[in-house]
Amino acid sequence: MDSPLKPGKRNIVVIGASAGGIEALKRLFARLPPDSSASFFVVQHLSASYASQLDRILQSATAMPVVFAFDRQPIMPDTVYLASPDRHMVIEDQHLRITRGPRENRARPAIDVLFRSAALAFGPRVIGVVLTGSLDDGTAGLWQIKDQQGLAFVQDPDDAFHRSMPQSAIEHVETDFVGALDRLADKITWQVGQDLPLPAEKPPRPDQRIENRVALGENGMQAGVMELGKPSKYSCPECSGVLIQVEEGRIVRFRCHTGHAYSIQSLLTDVNDTVDTSLWSTVRAIEERILILQQLADIADREGYPDKAARLRAKAAMAEQKCQPLRDLVLDTDFFASD
């Protein structure tokens, strides 16, 4: 079956957003024409804890059909495809795959998964768009789109509800356009349907194929994850496997043999969470020890052993003194800052 998408044209638009993204997406699609003959794919970081209404929300902003993508769904023009909560959306040839592959950058769905698969499937036909969001999901995927001769568009960080994602993309990818949402929509409208410049094709990178296979659910070791780079000094926060360090341009990121993937920023955030949890657990245990020592001291007093009670209270006071620096550390926002 021939694709309804015209070859040789820029007609694949992949969009990634996180914190503040719903309003940004509404503004963007309200300004995009419904008949550009392009297909639009959206990853908005969504909670897996409840059903999403993103399709209804965006449908109110555009005349294009807005749908949550299903597995092996054919790609049609003038349609908006959304990634579902807790599922990656992967572009494969002329259809979509919906998977529960390993989390990337602590997220599923992950923007990098969509962007990377689009670059692999459609190369220079792709326009990648990074919108508002925290941390840096989308940066590595946008780099791969640009590497395959696609276009890299980014929301102006000053226009974003959260500037981290667009700022990271600008710092690490040679962007083609940075602007506020209205200008971004106009730029997308101008570019879709344009003829591709020559040369029209560039061979896909082997690492793209490997990581795409992992996102589709293939065993990481069998897919070739260990070929992506050298073993790092770090272990995967999710499964404790060794992390392979992957370097692309100025981007440094990590992937374990199971398939979990991290940017260096998301890895630090996950490690911070682990430290935070461990510190709180230690503080709780010390405070329980203090309470037990104090109760033992009270019992010693009642039974007529004042010297023993004094020793127990002294130990409790010492534990309280040693616990205070830990309390101060766990409450120190600067210590846990990611930048």
Taking every pair of Cα atoms in the chain, the longest distance, rounded to a whole number of angstroms, is 94
Residues serving a catalytic function are: 18, 45, 137
Q: Are strands 261-263 and 251-256 parallel, antiparallel or unpaired?
A: antiparallel
Q: Name the nearest CA neighbour of 127 among 66, 178, 192, 63.
A: 192
Cβ atoms of 151 and 143 closer than 8 Å: no
Q: Cα dihedral sign for 284, 285, 286, 289?
A: positive
Cβ atoms of 264 and 253 closer than 8 Å: yes
| DSSP per-residue codes, 171-192 | HHS--SEEE-HHHHHHHHHHHT
DSSP letter at 6 equals P
Cβ atoms of 116 and 140 closer than 8 Å: yes
Contact residues for 39 (Cβ-Cβ < 8 A; gap 6+)? 5, 11, 12, 13, 75, 76, 77, 78, 79, 81
Measured CA to CA, the distance from residue 110 to residue 106 in angstroms comes to 8
Burial of 312 (0-12, 13-18, 19+ CB in 10 A): buried
> Per the structure block, which two tokens stand in for 110?
């992950």
Measured CA to CA, the distance from residue 288 to residue 283 in angstroms comes to 9
b/e per residue 74-98 (b: at least 16 CB within 10 A): ebebbbbbbbbbebbbbbeeeebbb
Cβ atoms of 249 and 145 closer than 8 Å: no
